[in-house]
Amino acid sequence: MTRVTAMGQSARFVWLDACRLIAGVSMVGLHATADANGQPWVDYDPGERVLPMLLRAVIYTARTELFIVISIFLLMMALDRRPRGYRQTIAEQSRRLLVPFAFWVVFYAAYTLIKADSFGYADAWLAQLSDPAAWAGFLVLGDVKYHMHFIPTLFGLVLFYPLFRIAVAHPWTGFVVLACLIVKRELDVMLWSTFWSADWLPWAVRAVKIVTYIGYGMVAAAFWGIWSRTRMEDRAPWVPLILFVGGLMFLIKLVATYKTVETGAWPHSYTPGYWADFLMPVALFALCLCLAHKAWPPVLSRLAPYSFGIYLCHPIFLDMAEIALKGTDLAPMAQIGIKIGWALPATTLFVIVLSKLPPLAWTVGLGPLPRLRSRAARIPQQET
C-alpha cells in the first residue's frame, strides 16, 4: 500500500497498517475476555468480572466493523488506481475471499470436534456435520465458528461497491451509516423478539446485517474520498474533536460495562451502548487517518500483513487454552491472561510459518491462490 506524493516519493500507509494490526490483534483479546461459552463469566462473582469487562471495553473499540471499513477503503483505493468492470472486480474478490473461506470452513468443521469432545457436545456437533442445512449455514453464514461470519458478510458488501463510489465523490454521504444503524437496531429487535424460534431467523438477521452494513461501506468510501483530496494540514485539526467524541462514546461503553458486571449478561437492550459499540470503529479509523502524518513505527508495516491470518487462525489456539483451563479454579483475569499470552504469540508464529509455505500461504491471504493447470499446459511437458 503505497502512494506517490507531490514530490514523487513513495510513502507507506503505516497508519493503515496500524489499523489492520489493531483489528487483527483485538479479535484475540475480544474472544479471550469471554468465557468458554462466549459469556461474561456468569459463574463468577461480580467483583471478579470487573477487570475482564474493563479490558474488554477497551479492546471492543476495534470490532470486526473496523476490518470492514479497512477492506472497503482498500477496495476503493485499488479501483481508483486500476479501474475495472463490475464482473472482473467481483470475480477477483470472490477468489480472494471465498476460496480461503471455504478452506477454513472445512478445517473448523473438523477441528471443532476436539473442543466439542472436551466440553461434552461432540454428539451434537457430529449431528450438525451430517446435516446439509447446517453445512448451508457454515458455507453461507459462516457460523461454523464464531469469527467466520466476517468473510461472507464482507463479500456481500462488496457486491454493492458501485454504491460506495457515491461517497468517494460526496464524502458527506458517509453519514448514511447513522440511518443504517437505526434500521439495523429496529429490525434486529423485531426479528429476535418475534421469530426467535424460526429456523430461518439467522438468515434474515444476516440479510439485515449486510444491507445495513452498506453504511460502513459508505463511510469507508467517504474516508477514501477525503484522503485522496485533502492534505495533512486539512485533516489534523479534526483530531481533538474525534478524541472528544470517542471519549464520550467510551463513557457510554463504561456504563454498559457496569451493567454487564452487575448482571452477568451482555446488555443488548442498552441502546446507548449499541451506538457506542457500532460507531467506535468509525471513530478509531478516522483518528488514525487524521494522524497519518505522525511518525508511526515502521515495524507496524512489517507485521500488518499477518493481521488477516491472525484473525482467521486465533480460535485454533484459544480452543487449546480453553480445553487446558477447563475445570480449573483460576480467576477470570488469570484465565484471560493465559489465553491471550498463549494464543496471540502462537497464532502469530503459526501464520508466519504458513506464509513461508507456498502451498498454504494463500490460506492466510499471503500467497497466490491455487490454480489447476490446464490440460493444454500439461501436454508440452509430457511430450518433452
Q: Place 231 in a pLDDT band, splitting at 50, 70 and 90.
A: confident
- DSSP states along 3-49: EE-TTS-EEE-HHHHHHHHHHHHHHHHHHHTS-TTSSS-TTS-HHHH
Whether 382 shows a pLDDT value over 50: the answer reads: no
- 295 torsion bin: left (phi>0), alpha (psi -120 to 50), beta (else): beta
Nearest-angstrom CA–CA distance, 97 and 311: 13
Mean pLDDT along residues 204-220? 97
57: pLDDT strictly greater than 90: yes
Q: What is the pLDDT of residue 368?
A: 87
DSSP letters spanning 306-374: GHHHHHHHHHHHHHHHHHHHTT----HHHHHHHHHHHHHHHHHHHHHHHHT-TTTGGGGTSSPPP-PPP
User: Is the per-residue pLDDT at 41 higher than 50?
Assistant: yes
What is the model's pLDDT at position 370?
A: 78
Is residue 379's pLDDT more than 90?
A: no
Partners of 18 in the β-ladder: none
Which pLDDT does position 171 carry in this prediction?
A: 96
Residue 3: pLDDT band with limits 50, 70, 90 = very low
pLDDT tens sequence across 72-124: 999 999 999 999 999 999 999 999 999 999 999 999 999 999 999 999 999 99
pLDDT at 384 over 80: no
Distance CA 342, CA 22 (A): 18
- DSSP for 65-94 reads HHHHHHHHHHHHHHHHHS---HHHHHHHHH
Q: Does 323 score more than 60 pLDDT?
A: yes
Q: What is the mean pLDDT of the chain?
A: 91
The mean per-residue pLDDT over the stretch 203-220 comes to: 97
Average pLDDT over residues 241-259: 96
Q: Is the pLDDT of residue 43 over 60?
A: yes
Using only C-alpha atoms, the chain has a radius of gyration, in whole angstroms, of: 22
pLDDT tier at 220 (50, 70, 90 boundaries)? very high
Across the range 319-345, mean pLDDT stands at: 95
pLDDT value, residue 293: 87
Q: What is the pLDDT of residues 8-26, one digit of tens each?
A: 333 468 999 999 999 999 9
Position 372 confidence tier, pLDDT thresholds 50, 70, 90: low
**Confidence grade of residue 141 (pLDDT, cut at 50, 70, 90):** very high
Q: What is the pLDDT of residue 12?
A: 64
